[in-house]
Each structure stands twice: as C-alpha cells, then as structure tokens.
Amino acid sequence: MAEEIILLLLIVVAGTGGELCVARTMQVVGPATDVRPAALCRLIVRVLGIGWMWLGLSLMALAFFSLLEMLSLENVSFVVPVTALSYGFGALGGRVFLQEQVTRKRWAGVLLVCIGVGLVLIGKR
C-alpha cells in the first residue's frame, strides 16, 4: 500500500511539478515576441539552456515512469482518475511557486475542472 501511495504522489506531484518548472522557464525567458519558425527554434535553444527546463523534463519523465509502474499494480480505472488531482495541485503550485494570483473565482473553476475530469475518466467504461 505504501508503494502505491508513493507512486500516486509521484504521478501527481512530479507531473505537475515538471509542468510548473516549464512554466518557470518561460517566466525566466519572458513573453515570446516572434512566432515564426526560425524564432521558435531560437527560443527552444534558449529554453534548453535554462536549468528549470531540464528539471521540469526530468520530473515529467519521473511521473511518466511512475504512472507505468502504478499501472502494473492497480487498475487503470483507479489510477487515471487520480490524475484529476493534478489540477488542484497545479493551482496551488502556481500560487506558491510562480507567485500567480489564484483568485477564488479561479479556484472555483479549477475545482469544477477536477470534478469534471474525474467524471470523464470514471465514465470511460
């Protein structure tokens, strides 16, 4: 049971943590001003030179392998709906880690999305 709990935590925390690190990278880089292919390539090269990006990609990979391991232990119908929790964790991370203003309205929206994603995944048959 302890292994399952650790894996679930890794799926939610490492997965969302990875995305938060990517978001932090884009905060460091600043808003993209040019979306032409050459400029996008330059942006990608610049992004790959930032430590947060590599941390983010590593955390996402960790979450992915944890998901694979978890799927070998538990049913998909149990594991996948748990990923809905990542929306709540993402809003919390946005507030704490990225200093975003998560208003009550945004929290309400995130809560609805969590419930909706949970229902979609449960109702998959």
Rounded CA separation 30/90 (Å): 20
Tokens of 15: 């997965």
Q: Please report, as a single letter, which amino acid is at residue 87.
A: Y
- Tell whether residue 36 is a contact of another protein (CB under 8 A): no
| Stretch in the footprint of another protein (CB under 8 A) among 2-10, 65-73, 100-108 | 100-108
| Stretch in the footprint of another protein (CB under 8 A) among 1-9, 63-71, 72-80, 93-101 | 93-101
- Tell whether residue 52 is a contact of another protein (CB under 8 A): no
Q: Which is nearer to another protein, 4 or 113 (CB)?
A: 113
Q: Which is nearer to another protein, 6 or 96 (CB)?
A: 96
In angstroms, give the least distance from the CB of 61 to another protein: 14
Any idea which residue has 């208003």 for tokens? 103
Rounded CA separation 87/117 (Å): 9
The burial of 41, by beta-carbon neighbours within 10 Å (0-12 exposed, 13-18 middle, 19 or more buried), is given as exposed
